Amino acid sequence: MASAGFCKKVCVTGAGGFVASSLVKLLLSKGYFVHGTVRQPGNEKYDFLLKLEPSENLKLFKADLLNYESLYSAIVGCSAVFHVASPVEVVEPAVKGTTNVLKASLEAKVERVVFVSSISAVFMNPQLSKEKLIDESCWSDKEYCKKTEGHASFTRIFLLLMQNWYCYSKTEAESQALDFAKRTGLAVVTICPTLILGPVLQSTVANASSLILLKLLKGCESLENKQRWIVDVRDLADAILMAYEKPEAEGRYLCNAHSIKTQELVEKLRTLYPNYSYPKNYTEVDDYKRLSSEKLQSLGWRYRPLEETLVDSVESYKEAGFLESK
């Protein structure tokens, strides 16, 4: 597989998103030529992408996950496809869109597809015991996801992410991707990240995971003291690129750096930024699980300290206008 990005052309779907834009930034810095798919090239909300250096190595394509031809035009000629686009509102774009990306990649004869899935495709399973170490062998139960309801958490926007239909769509899309690889011989690697924090590059809208941290900083009366699994978006971008560049990379990889209870996370934030509001009370919940990213670390993946992620997140929120300086 690729040992260096120079002269390599790759495609990133959903290039304007939180994760994808960080990946685009990394790829450009490594010498790759990047085809980025977006819904409306020329829209000012994508201007931040065109400021990434070297900007002449980035080309934006108008593409729709449900339009095969538009995807193929962006993918053809590329050595790799990083499928990062992740609609949360409905199932069809996530599942059929992934199939379209895979079929276009096969037709275009790309070397490898790296599909960004989610921890939601891993742990939503009532058969998983608390003693079970959650690793790449674990899958969410699709029927369980369809039969259970999501729960409100933090904001109505983030509710979409927490609904179990989201877990269903991510599980279905990832399992279909790996099955497609077995049937066709297309090289597919999947990455399942946990809660993704870190600096935002776009300043038009806060992504769903950033809303969680913003809610903690802005405070509330009471909050469940849940376990949080966290990975920095820059470390995730490293993992995604590693899944392409490492010839030995195969199958799926869980991507997590830190496990922490919500109250402890708030106290870390309070130490760094004492003047924000923060939640006042906590309700204890019994949701402890053990999660392993050992397989990913065996490829050489490393991650930064949580404090660095928190500081860089908060500073980027302030710069983007999502959060007042205090």
* Active-site residue list: 170
Distance CA 136, CA 122 (A): 8
Distance CA 172, CA 210 (A): 25
Instruction: Mark residue 7 as left, alpha or beta (left: phi above 0; alpha: psi -120 to 50; beta: remaining).
Output: left
Strand partners, 11: 35, 81
Backbone angles phi and psi of 128, in degrees to 5: -80, 120
Hunting for tokens 């139960």 — which residue is that?
141
Which of these, 98, 75, 56, 53, lies nearest to 9 by C-alpha position? 75
Radius of gyration of the chain (CA): 19
The count of other CB atoms within 10 Å of the CB of residue 151 is 10
C-alpha triplet 220, 221, 225: angle, nearest 5°: 85
Distance CA 210, CA 278 (A): 15
The count of other CB atoms within 10 Å of the CB of residue 293 is 22
Distance CA 305, CA 255 (A): 15
